[in-house]
Amino acid sequence: MADIDEARSWTDNAPGDIRVAKHLLSTMHPIPVEIIGFHSQQAAEKSLKAVLAYNETVIPRTHEITELVNICKTLGARFDIPEAVADTITEYAVKVRYKQETRDFTENDAKFAVKQAENVIDMVEKYLCNLNIGSV
């Protein structure tokens, strides 16, 4: 039995994170690349966890996008997210906690993070819609 309500609780939060990231990218100067990266990663993570919730799969306490993608694939999701991209997105959740590790983040990294998070959100939306539950 699918848990549509639990999936929606995850997908309802992902758009807020990506909106924050895009707002910061377009309005703040200097651009807070670490915060944009963090919110982008959170959007991707929450979207992927919606797939697990829908399938009533235990949701691990992790920020690892690769791990979440791999679990989703065992459930039949065909997400085309290269491992290198997933690992890079994951870094945005972890490295922002340590300022000395974020010195290499650039505006291009922030744009990349937003774009990749949007890709993940789109993939999850299509996956859930294809299951005939409509848009979450």
pLDDT tens, N- to C-terminus, the chain (136 residues): 578 888 988 989 899 999 999 999 999 999 999 999 999 999 999 999 999 999 999 999 999 999 999 999 999 999 999 999 999 999 988 776 666 655 678 999 999 999 999 999 999 999 998 876 554 4
Class at the top of the CATH hierarchy for domain 4-133: mainly alpha
* Domain-wise residue ranges, the chain: 4-133
According to the model, what pLDDT value does residue 105 have? Answer: 83
Task: Give the global pTM.
Answer: 0.91
CA distances from 80 to 21, 108, 136 (A): 23, 22, 20
